[in-house]
Structure formats: C-alpha cells, structure tokens
Amino acid sequence: MKRDKIIFKEDTHQYFYEGKELTGVTRLIGKRLGKRFPANIETVPILEQATGDGKYIHAELEDYINRGIAPENRASKWIIDELNR
C-alpha cells in the first residue's frame, strides 16, 4: 500500500485506498488499547480539550503514515510505538 494513495475525508472522518474504505486511526488505536470511543465525543463538554488534542495527534499520525514525518508530540510517539509492538 502506497502512503501517498491514502485519501482522508476530514468531514466524514473516512480513509480510502484505491476506492476502498479503510478503518480509521481512532478505531485502530481503540482496538489495540481495548477501548471504544463514542461517535459523538465532540458533544461532551469536558472532552472538548481532549478532542482538540486528539485532532493534533491525529494530524501528526497522518503525516507519519503519509509522509514519513516523525511526530514531535509524546503521545503520538507512544501510539506509534504501541502499534508497532
């Protein structure tokens, strides 16, 4: 799978490769960590900051996957390490 052929539709939070929908990063992380994240997580006021942080981490992980750019954020590095175990 070539990284530059992965398309992410931010408005619907979907990934596609050669026309086929892929599982999103959040779902993969949750599966690896044994957690489920609610679809409406942005509507929970106390999680608003966490959602913002998650979007930043998500962007770093996407850059790592698509462009090979190493993340700077400690949480992003941890996620990559966990997924590579």
Q: What is the pLDDT of residues 16-36, one digit of tens each?
A: 888 888 877 667 777 777 777
Place 47 in a pLDDT band, splitting at 50, 70 and 90.
low
Q: Is pLDDT of 70 > 90? A: yes
Query: What's the alpha-carbon Rg for the chain, to the nearest Å?
Result: 13
- What total number of domains does the chain contain? 1
| Domain that includes residue 39, residue range | 3-84
What is the bridge-based pairing of β-strands 20-22 and 6-9? unpaired
Residues 6+ apart with CB under 8 A from 7: 15, 16, 17
